Structure 1
Amino acid sequence: MYAKVIIASCCLAAFAMGRPDDVPAPEGYGYAAPEHQLSYGTHDKHEKGMPFDFEYAVKDDYKGLDFGHNSNSDGKVVTGKYYVLLPDGRTQIVTYTADHYNGYQAEVTYEGEAKYPEPKPYAPAPSYGAPAPTYGAPEPTYGAPAPAYEEPAPVYGTPAPSYEEPEPVYGAPDH
Structure 2
Amino acid sequence: MYTKVLLIALGLAALAYAAPGASSEESFESGEAKYNFNWAVRDESSENDFGHQEARDGENTQGSYYVHLPDGRLQKVSYHVDGDDGYVAEVSYDGEARFPDSASYESNESK
Query: TM-score, normalised on structure 2?
Result: 0.64
**1:43-83 deviation line (CA, Å, top 9, x unaligned):** xxxx8631100000000111110000000011220000000
Q: Which has the higher helix share?
A: 2
Residue identity matched to 2:75: Q
Which residue among 46, 53, 65 is the counterpart of 1:70?
Answer: 53
Contact residue 48 and residue 76 of structure 1 kept, 8 A: no
Q: Which runs of 5+ in 2 are unaligned?
A: 1-29
- Cross-structure match for 2:88: 105
**1:123-160 deviation line (CA, Å, top 9, x unaligned):** 665xxxxxxxxxxxxxxxxxxxxxxxxxxxxxxxxxxx
- Cross-structure match for 1:31: none
Identity %: 42
Moved over 6 A (4+): none
Q: Which runs of 5+ in 1 are unaligned?
A: 1-46, 126-175
Measured in 2, the distance between the counterparts of 1:48 and 1:111 equals 39
Q: Report 1:49-68 matches (<5 A).
A: 49-68=32-51
The alignment of Structure 1 onto Structure 2 pairs a total of residues equal to 79
- Cross-structure match for 1:143: none
Q: CA deviation at 1:117?
A: 1.7
Change (3 A) 1:113 1:106: same
- Computing the radius of gyration from Cα coordinates, the structure with the larger value is 1
Residue identity matched to 1:71: E
Q: Which has the higher strand share?
A: 2
Q: CA deviation at 1:99?
A: 2.2
Measured on the aligned residues, the alpha-carbon RMSD in Å equals 1.8
- Cross-structure match for 2:107: 122
Residue identity matched to 2:42: K
**1:79-137 deviation line (CA, Å, top 9, x unaligned):** 00000011100011000001222110000001110011223152665xxxxxxxxxxxx
SS in 1 for 2:84: coil
Query: TM-score, normalised on structure 1?
Result: 0.42
